[in-house]
């Protein structure tokens, strides 16, 4: 199955990053022939629709995909398949709505709304008599190569023009998407962006309608179009100085004064030229930035628009937000300086993508609603893992519900068991009796023992980093914090911590049962090193990825909920 995640704007890009992290730690999208939940066997492409090519979110996503590729490559067998999880195409397709088709390379060099609408080499008539009826001069003149600054009315015509260019296979966007090639595949598209911003608010509905219309004109296509709409969930602090009153001119002397005053302050100190700093000052003075007070009203207006005009074009739509948005640590207006941490709401949105990629909307008698927030507490508190929604995956009917808390507990314990409970320091022939199957594997492949230890260490480092990236306070916002504190010992290489966990995992005398149990939030698991040692794929030709998938599946099946009575 080919899944295509279309990250629209900065918020969509952060959700894409969270999605890759979730796949890295083992979140499934299907069940295999043995009924084991996994994402291995599926494919994912990531398309990024954003004029801000140099955003901090884009760089973070690029690093995350590279780490995921490193993880997969360390778990393959002979550079073939059978890796740990879903195959993610390492090419992130950059769809720049300002990069439009034209007869020469000079097309749309003026990156403003007015410049694009008046591009004479696109054989268009002068548009000023029309645009002046709907836009102020500053709306037409502001540079938009960093986004649309919470102004979807600026981005909407740009997105509409860009969508039309996708019909041309030779246009920049057409070459990236290659929609004609996709017509022969079963594809699940999933668009994600904000309701209250600029790029997401105009890009998701335009692209969703475009894909749905393309599908409707060709009934033979096996395409599904889903989307996730992000209501306000995080707000930035105010910019370093206020905007001018509406209608007040922006004098060059004031711009120069602010450049001198703030030149060495973030985000100005990340800009390379004096002209870039002047542009940023003008954007602030003229009000081209995200206004926290306007977010809720913009989201409401967008929802009404979806209800009346757009929702019918989607096979499934998810809505995610927070009653009390989190405060972002720093102000930015796009570009490389906008380096926000992953937010818990973005993790929830990534789970919505997994629910969609699991094919739940395609099931017969599928429910028309899917509850995202189901906490028993008030959401004025920060999220815990137990607040996250469960989802299903297609496959055998008895496939379990995927509880995120259980997934993360199984993944962290798998990491500990592979790195610290396999006696890598000993020759395989000296492994304990309960590891007879693993001993036989290395007897057949003695050359693999050192290589496997090295590769597991490198691969599981990415799993460890992904767990920290999703939950650690220094990396994220919106979490309570206790969950990371509970799971951190399983991610530790400290000898004392390892010994403490080992004592919990030791089998009772005359029994295979572990002495203790490991906890994460409302979940617990009890497994002994003796039981772990007996888990091994059949035969002597399995890959490192297959071994990890088996261990994870065994642990996931063992995780149980802690009931109130307990």
In this predicted structure, what is the pLDDT of residue 565?
A: 39
Is the predicted pLDDT of residue 552 greater than 80, yes or no?
yes
| Residue 566 pLDDT grade (very low, low, confident, very high; cuts 50, 70, 90) | very low
Quote the DSSP letter at residue 310.
I
Highest mean pLDDT among 54-58, 97-101, 213-217, 562-566: 213-217
147-174: string of b/e by CB count within 10 Å (b at 16+)?
A: bbbbbbebbbbbbebbbebbeeeebbbb
Residue 74 confidence (pLDDT)? 95
Q: Is pLDDT of 352 > 90?
A: yes
What average pLDDT score do residues 553-558 get?
Answer: 96
Q: Got the DSSP string for 93-142?
A: EEE-TT----SSTTTT-S-BHHHHHT-GGGT----HHHHTTT--HHHHHS
Alpha-carbon gap, residue 217 to 214, rounded angstroms: 5
pLDDT digits (tens, 9 = 90+) for 133-146: 788 888 888 888 88
Summarize the confidence of residues 244-261 as an average pLDDT: 90
Bin 136: left if φ > 0, else alpha if -120 < ψ < 50, else beta: beta
Is 564 a residue whose pLDDT tops 60? no
Distance CA 325, CA 524 (A): 31
Select, from the ranges 73-77, 132-136, 244-248, 519-523, the one with the highest average predicted confidence (pLDDT). 519-523
Reported confidence tier of residue 465, pLDDT bands at 50, 70, 90: very high
pLDDT of residue 546 exceeding 50: yes
pLDDT tens-digit profile of 264-294? 888 888 888 999 899 899 989 988 888 888 8
CA distance 352 to 383: 16
- In the chain, pLDDT over 90 holds for what percent of residues? 61
pLDDT in tens, 293-331: 888 888 999 999 999 999 999 999 999 998 889 988 888
For residue 42, the cross-strand partners are 40
Q: What is the pLDDT of residue 144?
A: 84
C-alpha 238/C-alpha 333 separation (Å) is: 11
Question: Hey, is 514 helix, strand or coil?
Answer: strand
Domain boundaries, the chain: 2-98+151-239+289-387, 103-143, 404-561
Q: Which residues pair with 234 in a beta bridge?
A: 326
pLDDT tens across 86-145, in order?
Answer: 999 999 999 999 888 654 544 556 688 888 877 644 455 566 777 777 888 888 888 888
Whether 375 has a pLDDT exceeding 50, the answer reads no
Taking the whole predicted model, whether its pTM rises above 0.85 is answered as: yes
Q: Tell me: domain 2-98+151-239+289-387, CATH 3.40.250.10, correct?
A: no
Residue scoring higher pLDDT (124 or 565) = 124
Q: Determine the average pLDDT of the residues in 399-413.
A: 92
Confidence of residue 379 (pLDDT cuts 50, 70, 90): low
Residue 479 per-residue DSSP state: B
Question: What's the chain's average pLDDT?
Answer: 88
Where residue 10 falls among pLDDT bands split at 50, 70, 90?
very high
| pLDDT for res 119 | 65
Residue 4 has pLDDT above 90, yes or no: yes
The model's pLDDT over 422-441, given as tens digits with 9 standing for 90+, comes to: 999 999 899 999 999 999 99
**Residue, of 473 and 395, whose pLDDT is higher:** 473
Q: Which of 382, 344, 395, 456 is nearest to 22 (CA)?
A: 344
- Which range, of 33-37, 171-175, 255-259, 394-398, averages the lowest pLDDT? 394-398
Q: Is 80 exceeded by the pLDDT of residue 563? A: no
Question: Does position 335 have pLDDT exceeding 90, yes or no?
Answer: no
Q: Rounded CA gap, 439 and 262, in Å?
A: 64
pLDDT at position 398, please?
57
Is residue 208 pLDDT above 90, yes or no?
Answer: yes
**Mean per-residue pLDDT for 467-495?**
95
Q: Is a pLDDT exceeding 90 seen at residue 450?
A: yes
List strand residue ranges (DSSP E) for 231-341, in order.
Answer: 234-235, 316-320, 326-327
């Amino acid at each position: 199955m080919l899944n295509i995640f279309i990250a629209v704007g900065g918020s969509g890009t952060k959700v894409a990053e969270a999605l890759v992290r979730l796949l890295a730690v083992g979140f499934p999208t299907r069940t295999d022939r043995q009924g084991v939940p996994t994402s291995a066997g599926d494919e994912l492409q990531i398309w990024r629709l954003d004029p801000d090519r140099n955003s901090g979110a884009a760089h973070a996503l690029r690093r995350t995909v590279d780490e995921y590729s490193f993880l997969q490559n360390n778990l393959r067998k002979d550079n073939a398949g059978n890796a740990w999880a879903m195959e993610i195409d390492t090419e992130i397709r950059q769809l720049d709505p300002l990069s439009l088709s034209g007869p020469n390379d000079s097309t749309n060099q003026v990156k403003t709304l007015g410049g694009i609408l008046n591009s004479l080499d696109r054989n268009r008539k002068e548009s000023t008599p029309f645009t002046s009826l709907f836009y102020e001069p500053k709306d037409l003149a502001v540079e938009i190569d960093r986004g649309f600054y919470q102004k979807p009315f600026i981005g909407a015509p740009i997105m509409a023009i860009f969508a039309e260019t996708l019909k041309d296979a030779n246009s920049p966007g057409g070459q990236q998407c290659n929609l004609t090639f996709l017509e022969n595949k079963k594809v699940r598209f999933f668009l994600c962006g904000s309701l209250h911003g600029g790029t997401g608010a105009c890009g998701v509905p335009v692209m969703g309608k475009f894909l749905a219309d393309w599908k409707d004109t060709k009934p033979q296509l096996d395409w599904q179009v889903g989307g996730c709409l992000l209501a306000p969930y995080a707000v930035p602090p105010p910019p370093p100085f206020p905007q001018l009153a509406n209608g007040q001119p922006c004098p060059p002397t004031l711009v120069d004064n602010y450049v001198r005053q703030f030149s060495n302050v973030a985000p100005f100190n990340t800009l390379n030229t004096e002209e870039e700093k002047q542009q940023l000052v003008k954007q602030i003075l003229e009000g081209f930035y995200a206004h926290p007070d306007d977010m809720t009203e913009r989201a409401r207006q967008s929802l009404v628009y979806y209800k009346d005009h757009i929702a019918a074009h989607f096979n499934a739509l998810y809505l995610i937000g927070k009653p009390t948005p989190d405060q972002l640590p720093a102000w930015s207006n796009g570009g490389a300086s906008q380096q926000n941490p992953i937010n818990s709401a973005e993790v929830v949105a990534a789970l919505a993508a997994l629910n969609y990629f699991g094919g739940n909307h395609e099931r017969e008698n599928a429910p028309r609603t899917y509850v995202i927030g189901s906490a028993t507490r008030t959401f004025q508190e920060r999220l815990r893992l137990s607040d996250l929604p469960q989802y299903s995956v297609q496959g055998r009917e008895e496939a379990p519900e995927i509880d995120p808390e259980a997934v993360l507990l199984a993944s962290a314990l798998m990491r500990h068991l592979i790195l610290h409970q396999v006696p890598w320091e000993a020759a395989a022939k000296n492994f304990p009796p309960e590891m007879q199957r693993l001993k036989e594997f290395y007897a057949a492949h003695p050359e693999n023992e050192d290589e496997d230890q090295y590769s597991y260490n490198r691969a599981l480092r990415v799993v460890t980093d992904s767990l920290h990236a999703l939950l650690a306070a220094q990396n994220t916002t919106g979490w309570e914090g206790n969950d990371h504190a509970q799971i951190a010992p399983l991610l530790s290489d400290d000898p004392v911590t390892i010994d403490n966990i080992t004592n919990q995992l030791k089998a009772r005398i005359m029994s295979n049962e572990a002495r203790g149990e490991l906890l994460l939030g409302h979940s617990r698991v009890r497994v002994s090193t003796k039981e772990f040692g007996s888990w091994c794929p059949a035969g002597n030709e399995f890959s490192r990825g297959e071994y990890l998938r088996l261990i994870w599946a065994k642990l996931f099946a063992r995780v149980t909920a802690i009931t109130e009575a307990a």
